[in-house]
């Protein structure tokens, strides 16, 4: 879930100085409406240590009306708190209706830290997350708006960060010994945090992972997320109170660095014919071996292909299946649902096609349609596609718990390359059937799809079922990347 | 959660023959509207073995239009099913929109049986229930109506039942060896089932516990619950489809035997002055010891008093506190919420007053107001008070997990006795302030309150935090019963 926040985005001082006053102004207006509407707002700031969480807390106190804000830096439990059930300390700090409560450190901290350090083994740590979910659902049912921010830094940037802070005499105090101790367990922290986020990424209280590399970028992005969440909620309120919507102004925080995780894919990667033929042969041979082996061990696989129109899904799938015994696999092309499928929950058609032990199913498009085409084309309501992240993660968790190996590919190409291929198809009689009006329409919504793909990866690229972004401008390179990834995943899983 | 279903209610053949045709007719009409509305309906029949679950399945197939019903008697997993994730077998059987799927044996069976027999220790069994909850929430979000019936029999009646079946040559085959094996673990089954029900008793998919002692009573009651659930859902549908509500006819299944669990309380129990004085002294002395002991061990207590107006809560509380060192306890009288309390979640005011370790808090009325006065007076919507059962159980579970001992009393008196006391109060100058217009108004809603109390006990009397129904017509008897129960609970908890 964190890959999309490892782009190291930055924002220039000039840009910041231009946007910041407008953001502040709109936030202040939004804050006024919160009071009028009697809306309790809970803002949770979490993430890796030393990533600027406390700085944001200060900033929010500048941006909002401090008379309406309660700030809670949750530190050690007091003895008053230790002598009561765990959640007492949070309940006593709950914001009243019309107030904003900002929590630095929250009900997430203790379960995550306990699990990293192997404390509190008595209870399944996932249990703690289910309690969190129940708690947030309860508050949300009661009308509270819950905004959850996760500040992320990559391992490398975190190391540089801690080192440079330690060297700076003025900032040295900010690094506690615990921060280095935590850094030694960085990978554990990430794995366990991801698990925690995944189980609490609900429609009513979704997570927002923020690239925390640069102060200006992360603060403005956080402010923008908070503003957007408040605006969305105010809009959805029943029209009892005379609440005015703050101006629909949204700050476009672009920042330097790749715009989305898709832009970070190096599309210049290519293979020449000779390399390609050689690697194809090698990888197909290995894949064939691995698929037989997983059959013998009774292990099943699910492989998902998603990607831009004309990105080469079909031909890539043929290179994959070319290496397999037809008795072992099945390809499920996913188009518009049948009548029967439409009469069921959207996941039903995919459950139908789950492989038996030892078999392999390739989905040519998949359940991710819910958060891609259905989202962009408004076939699903925001509420529906937002809660789909949790539903999909739960679905894939059930697969991986059953020891099914899950591999997911997004075939990425540039917008120019897509145009080139569309034109080529139009010109080639045999390929003309492959290009439709719809393809051109989808192309018109490229940016909306890009945003949706980015969020899809942010919310559903998980430890047990990660996404692989394929550099697809060169079909040969793409096919080899797919075969290689697949072999690696099977090898690791077996 | 099962006490309310141990009344052993019966229905005469005459009554059954009178009601059954009308129920069937209305159910058929409701079924027609289900189809029109495209509503998927999932009916789960669970409960103790040999309690007539399969019989109900047959009956429902008679009562509904069999062309619109899918019946699933879930038995052993097939090899097809074993080779896929656990829920695959349920997904393939999900009813389509407009159809009714009846499940005999469901996603509840395996986790409960596994836990009773100590199988599958790898995973926290509560985890399984959280998955169930997520699943039901997902289906419900998608528009499905989920009706969950639990057939209960008391231990004694279950034994008689199995014996008489075994003796009857025609019915002998219905008793499998596993049924006796299950019976030997009856108490484990009940404890674990209660835990499962408690964690899945959500507002969107609530449990209905049915007294299964008598065939006619349980079948008609089940039919009535199903009809009511369908009617409520059809009413709540957005008015897109031309759906007609089936006639508002509801079958009043009274049955013989006590009407509610309150009617099963023997209000004739009395104590004479001498016995009372002696027992009062003894119990107060023991309570005093126990309260000091729990203080030394750092164990806290929460005691809840609820009951009819004029049932004697105040004087009973004074007999309890009379035995305690004032430094150790606090009494929280709960009246209408303050402005500050009203600005928070309804549980907030109770979290405020949770005792520290070693201390004791007595709530004179409590969070149960949500499912009593707020329900009856329509201060809370049906959705709000229905989900409160889960919220309250979760709240009390957090208390008991913190080793806080929870004791809950409902002070019961007869309607006549209440009238007598009201009149007496009116006549006594010193007590006149105690009786208000509101008391008379509440009295007018006696039956609505009785129903609410019955459901409250059904949904929130749990292993770790059970309800005690106090026979309050004789104040002396009531006080001794309270002191005795309290001493027992503290002794057991310490």
CA distance linking residue B97 with residue A345, whole number of Å: 9
pLDDT at A239 over 80: no
**Using one digit for the tens of pLDDT, what is the confidence trace for A124-170?**
666 788 889 989 999 999 999 999 999 999 999 889 888 888 898 88
Reduced to 3 states, what is the DSSP secondary structure of residue A104?
A: strand
Distance from CA of A107 to the nearest CA of B (A): 14
**Using one digit for the tens of pLDDT, what is the confidence trace for B116-162?**
888 866 666 667 888 899 899 999 999 999 999 999 999 998 898 88
pLDDT at B470 over 90: yes
Distance from CA of A344 to the nearest CA of B (A): 5
CB B482 within 8 A of CB B470: yes
The mean pLDDT value for A185-208 works out to 92
pLDDT at B278 over 70: yes
Indicate the length of chain A as a whole number: 494
Verify whether the Cβ–Cβ distance B356 to A80 is below 8 Å. Answer: yes
Torsion of CA A469, A471, A476, A480, to 10 degrees: -40
| Chain B residues close to A145, C-beta within 8 Å | none
Partner-chain residue, chosen from B94, B98, B124, that has the shortest CB–CB distance to A348? B94
In chain A, what is the straight-line distance between the N-terminal and C-terminal CA atoms, in Å? 24
Query: Is A477 or B75 the better-scoring residue by pLDDT?
Result: A477
pLDDT at B249 over 80: no
| Chain A residues close to B144, C-beta within 8 Å | 345
pLDDT at B420: 94
Verify whether the Cβ–Cβ distance B86 to A402 is below 8 Å. Answer: yes
The DSSP code for A270 is -
pLDDT at B362: 97
SS3 sequence, A33-52?
HHHHHCCCEEEEEEECCCCC
The mean pLDDT value for A320-342 works out to 92
The mean pLDDT value for B206-229 works out to 94
Token pair in block for residue A215 = 């102060």
Q: Which residues of B62-76 are buried (b: 16+ CB within 10 A; e: fewer)?
A: ebbeeeebebbebee
pLDDT at B85 over 70: yes
Partner-chain residue, chosen from A138, A343, A399, that has the shortest CB–CB distance to B391? A138
With cut-offs at 50, 70 and 90, classify the pLDDT of residue B177.
Answer: confident
CA distance linking residue A299 with residue A291, whole number of Å: 9
Residue A352: closest C-alpha in chain B: B92
C-alpha atoms less than 13 angstroms from C-alpha of A295 in its C-beta half-sphere: 15
Nearest to B394 by CA among B111, B214, B195: B195
CA distance linking residue A106 with residue A197, whole number of Å: 13
pLDDT at B54 over 60: yes
pLDDT at A82: 87
Indicate the length of chain B as a whole number: 494
The mean pLDDT value for A382-409 works out to 94
With cut-offs at 50, 70 and 90, classify the pLDDT of residue A246.
Answer: low
With cut-offs at 50, 70 and 90, classify the pLDDT of residue B250.
Answer: low
ipTM of the complex: 0.85
With cut-offs at 50, 70 and 90, classify the pLDDT of residue A391.
Answer: very high
**Using one digit for the tens of pLDDT, what is the confidence trace for B321-363?**
999 999 999 999 998 888 889 999 999 999 999 999 999 999 9
Least confident of A308-312, B77-81, B132-136: B77-81
Residue that is written with structure tokens 């014919």 in the block: A273
With cut-offs at 50, 70 and 90, classify the pLDDT of residue B251.
Answer: low
Q: Does B382 touch chain A (CB under 8 A)?
A: no
Query: Is A267 or A260 the better-scoring residue by pLDDT?
Result: A267
CA distance linking residue B219 with residue B123, whole number of Å: 36
Residues in contact with A70: Cβ distance below 8 Å, sequence separation at least 6, in sequence order: A93, A95, A99, A100, A101, A102
Verify whether the Cβ–Cβ distance A399 to B85 is below 8 Å. Answer: yes
Range 440-479 of A in CB contact (< 8 A) with B: none
With cut-offs at 50, 70 and 90, classify the pLDDT of residue B241.
Answer: low
The mean pLDDT value for B372-384 works out to 93
Partner-chain residue, chosen from A88, A124, A340, that has the shortest CB–CB distance to B351? A88
The mean pLDDT value for B42-62 works out to 92
Q: Does A352 touch chain B (CB under 8 A)?
A: yes
Token pair in block for residue B463 = 């292993």
**Using one digit for the tens of pLDDT, what is the confidence trace for A270-289?**
999 999 999 999 999 999 99
pTM of the model: 0.88
Using only the alpha carbons of chain A, give its radius of gyration. 24
Least confident of A430-439, B10-19, B142-151, B387-396: A430-439
CA distance linking residue A213 with residue A123, whole number of Å: 35
pLDDT at B125: 63
Beta bridge partners of A448: none
The DSSP code for A446 is H
Q: Determine which of A85, A143, A195 to mutate to test the interface with B (most B C-beta atoms within 10 Å).
A: A85
pLDDT at B242 over 70: no
pLDDT at B354: 95
pLDDT at A425: 87
CA distance linking residue B284 with residue B321, whole number of Å: 9
pLDDT at A279: 97
Partner-chain residue, chosen from B124, B354, B390, that has the shortest CB–CB distance to A124? B124
**In chain A, pLDDT over 70 holds for what percent of residues?**
96
Mean pLDDT, all residues of chain B: 91
With cut-offs at 50, 70 and 90, classify the pLDDT of residue B262.
Answer: very high
With cut-offs at 50, 70 and 90, classify the pLDDT of residue B274.
Answer: very high
Range 67-106 of A in CB contact (< 8 A) with B: 80, 83-88, 91-92, 94, 96-98
Residue A131: closest C-alpha in chain B: B394
CA distance linking residue A73 with residue A56, whole number of Å: 12
pLDDT at A182: 86
Residues in contact with A80: Cβ distance below 8 Å, sequence separation at least 6, in sequence order: B356
Q: Which of A243-247, B218-222, B379-383 has the highest mean pLDDT?
A: B218-222
């Amino acid at each position: 879930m964190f890959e999309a926040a490892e782009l190291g985005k930055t924002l220039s001082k000039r840009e910041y100085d231009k946007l910041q006053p407008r953001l502040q102004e709109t936030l202040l207006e939004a804050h006024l409406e919160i009071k009028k509407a009697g809306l309790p707002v809970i803002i949770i700031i979490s993430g890796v240590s030393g990533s600027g969480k406390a700085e944001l807390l200060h900033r929010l106190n500048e941006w909002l009306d401090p008379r309406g804000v309660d700030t809670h830096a949750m530190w050690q439990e007091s003895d008053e708190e230790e002598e009561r059930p765990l959640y007492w300390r949070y309940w006593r700090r709950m914001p009243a209706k019309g107030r904003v409560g900002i929590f630095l450190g929250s009900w997430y901290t203790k379960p995550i830290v306990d699990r990293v350090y192997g404390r509190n083994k008595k209870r399944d740590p996932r249990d703690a997350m289910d309690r969190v979910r129940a708690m947030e659902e309860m508050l949300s049912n009661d009308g509270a708006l819950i905004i959850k921010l996760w500040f992320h830094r990559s391992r490398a940037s975190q190391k540089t960060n801690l080192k440079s802070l330690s060297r700076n005499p003025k900032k040295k105090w900010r690094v506690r010994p615990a921060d280095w101790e935590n850094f030694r367990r960085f990978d554990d922290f990430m794995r366990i945090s991801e698990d925690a986020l995944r189980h609490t990424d609900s429609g009513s209280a979704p997570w927002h992972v923020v690239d925390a590399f640069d102060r200006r970028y992360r603060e403005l992005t956080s402010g923008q997320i908070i503003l957007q969440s408040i605006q969305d909620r105010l809009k959805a309120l029943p029209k009892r109170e005379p609440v005015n919507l703050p101006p629909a102004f949204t700050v476009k925080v672009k920042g330097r660095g790749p715009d989305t995780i898709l832009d970070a894919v190096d599309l210049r990667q290519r293979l020449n014919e000779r390399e390609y033929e050689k690697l194809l042969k090698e990888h197909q041979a290995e894949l064939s071996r691995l698929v037989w082996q997983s059959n013998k061990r009774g292990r099943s696989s699910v492989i998902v292909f998603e990607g831009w129109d004309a990105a080469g899904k079909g031909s890539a799938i043929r290179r994959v299946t070319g290496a397999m015994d037809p008795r072992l696999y099945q390809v499920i092309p996913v188009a518009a649902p049948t009548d029967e499928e439409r009469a069921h929950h959207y996941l039903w058609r995919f459950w139908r096609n789950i492989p038996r032990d030892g078999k392999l199913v390739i989905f040519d498009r998949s359940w991710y349609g819910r958060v891609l085409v259905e989202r962009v084309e408004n076939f699903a309501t925001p509420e529906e596609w937002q809660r789909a992240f949790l539903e999909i993660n739960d679905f894939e968790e059930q697969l991986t718990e059953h020891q099914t190996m899950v591999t997911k590919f997004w075939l990425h190409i540039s917008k120019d390359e897509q145009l080139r291929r569309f034109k080529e198809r139009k010109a080639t009689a045999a390929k003309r059937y492959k290009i439709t009006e719809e393809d051109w329409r989808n192309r018109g919504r490229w940016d909306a799809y890009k945003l949706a793909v980015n969020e899809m990866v942010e919310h559903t690229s998980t430890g047990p079922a990660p996404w692989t972004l394929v550099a697809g401008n060169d079909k040969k390179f793409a096919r080899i990347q797919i075969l290689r990834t697949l072999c690696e995943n099977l090898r690791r899983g077996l």
